[in-house]
Amino acid sequence: MTGGSSLLKENEKLKSDNEEFQLQLQAFEDQQNDLESTINEYEEKSASLEEEKSEIENDKDTMQDEVENLTILNDDLEQEVEHLETELANAKSKVETLTANSISGNSNSSVTVESSKFSSSGSVYYKNCSEAREAGAAPVRTGDPGYASNLDRDGDGIGCE
């Protein structure tokens, strides 16, 4: 039975090797499961980061639109300030002229505060060229406060020449 005992030993060795391989296989399967779990976590984080990136890009676009709108508004306000400063300077000039006329006793001056009319937007309005001259504003050019086509007989853009 020497042949049988050697087969038994070989069978025992194969069983032992099989158990060892089964343990290694289980360890590899556990390791594979851990790696798959890690991959899933990274994929979820990646998807979350992509969402955040998309939100940030949308916020960036919204902010750029807001900056453009605010820039336009700022430009409009700067133009309005320039316009108001011009009107203020003209009004001060009129007051100085009226004050000088009243101090010098110039009775020829028929300009009064009531005859200098202002529109609701604050623009200067002259009824005629005499009024513009007496206010010290003549000649008035296109774009100047108080310019109106009725003051510009020849249509060259300069009224009360």
pLDDT digits (tens, 9 = 90+) for 27-51: 999 999 999 999 999 999 999 999 9
Residue 2 lies inside a defined structural domain of this protein: no
Cα 83 to Cα 21: distance, rounded to the nearest angstrom: 91
Condensed to tens digits (0 to 9), the pLDDT of residues 68-78 reads 889 999 988 98
Residue 151 lies inside a defined structural domain of this protein: yes
- pTM for this predicted structure: 0.39
Residue 12 lies inside a defined structural domain of this protein: no
Residue 27 lies inside a defined structural domain of this protein: no
Residue 158 lies inside a defined structural domain of this protein: yes
Residue 107 lies inside a defined structural domain of this protein: yes
The tally of domains found in the chain comes to 1
124, 131 Cβ separation under 8 angstroms: no
Structural domain boundaries, residue 151: 68-161
In terms of C-beta density within 10 A (0-12 exposed, 13-18 middle, 19 or more buried), how is residue 97 classed? middle
> What is the per-residue pLDDT for 2?
67
